[in-house]
Amino acid sequence: MLGELSDPLHRLVAMGHDGRELGVDIAQAGFEAIQEGLKLFRQTHAENASKVEAKAKKTRAIARRILLAYALAPCLSPDVEQTPPVPSTFDALPVFPLSGTVLFPNTVLPLHIFEPRYRDMVSDALASDRLIAVVLAKGSTEPGESPDVHEVAGCGRIIHHEKLPDGRYNILVQGLARVRLITELPLQRHYRRFTARVIARPDENDMSEAKSELAKLQSCVLSLRTLVAERDQPLLEVLRSTSDPIDLSDILAASVISTPLLQQKVLETVRFKHRLAVLIDALADVMLQISEPSAEQTLN
């Protein structure tokens, strides 16, 4: 199944927003790939660890490429064509803690929802404004546990959902904004909720202050385009997808940085100048790895 995604993915990139039906098919394949990855990790006790890691790495790469495709076309197959703006504050924002996953604005995250409390969360969100927050957990996210979470999360809207016969959900969450979680509220429907405040998007003053870092980012993007020109067509298309440096910085952080804690650092760095500095350092490391023959599969 994994090997069959390449051609449809390139077709999706070429079709852009007209690839709605194809986009749903690729999303479904993405859910299956993520599930396969979890299964592979659980088999480490029964197989050679290096073989399992190689298979899991391939699965994660496929899931990342799907994210890249949706970054190019975040409106693919939405349940609703028009959505209201995100409020500046939340009295009770549903929060979904995940280990190893960070949601950035301007990207779309496929999620498989199986735990009963988070099925309730999705059901309630679909019945209201469809907004949820995805936050990086600091500990285990095994069913029934409530780990400590980072203070800054990604707020997104469920733009597509599929309810399975047994009550599980496949959903697509489009990242819209950074939010700062303030106070956790008492449980009502078993899933967690916080009061929260949206972190403002960088303004003209922030852009002016980050002039030097913006020039460095542009240089990194040009170098990265050259390095991946014949290796990773979806990533190449992402690099060409927007001229907005704020949007592009988020898309790059989500798709190129592979370490969740480093992604979280980019997400929670509010001052745009400093955020870009963290991203540029990460991109420099990635480009160094790509340049080495042994790292050819880093962005495949």
Instruction: List helix spans (H) across the chain.
Output: 6-15, 20-42, 49-72, 116-126, 204-209, 211-228, 233-239, 245-255, 260-268, 272-291
Q: What are phi and psi of 109, to 5 degrees?
A: -110, 120
At 251, list the tokens. 């898309």
CA 24/CA 77 separation, integer angstroms: 7
At 117, list the tokens. 């409390």
Say if residue 175's pLDDT is above 60: yes
The model carries a pTM of: 0.74
Q: Which secondary structure element, helix H or strand E, spans residue 136, and what is its range?
A: strand 131-136
Q: Tens digit of pLDDT for each residue in 67-118?
A: 554 444 444 445 555 667 899 999 999 999 998 899 999 888 889 999 999 9
Q: Tens digit of pLDDT for each residue in 131-172?
A: 999 999 997 667 767 889 999 999 999 998 999 999 999 999
pLDDT at 16: 42
Average pLDDT of the segment spanning 241-268: 90
What rounded mean pLDDT belongs to the chain? 78
107 close to 254: Cβ distance less than 8 angstroms: yes
Average pLDDT of the segment spanning 204-230: 89
Average pLDDT of the segment spanning 260-273: 96
CA 86/CA 76 separation, integer angstroms: 20
175 close to 153: Cβ distance less than 8 angstroms: no
2 close to 59: Cβ distance less than 8 angstroms: yes
CA 250/CA 267 separation, integer angstroms: 8
Question: Rounded to the nearest 10 degrees, how much is the dihedral formed by the CA atoms of 91, 96, 101, 107?
Answer: -60
Band of the pLDDT at 3, cuts 50, 70, 90? very low
DSSP annotation string for 28-47: HHHHHHHHHHHHHHHTTTTS
Compute CA distances 104 → 148, 203, 220, 264, 294, whole Å: 20, 18, 20, 9, 30
CA 164/CA 167 separation, integer angstroms: 5
Q: What are phi and psi of 274, to 5 degrees?
A: -75, -35
**Which residue is it, tokens 């420099």?**
284
pLDDT at 222: 86
Q: Which of 5-9, 53-57, 58-62, 79-83 reaches the highest mean pLDDT?
A: 79-83
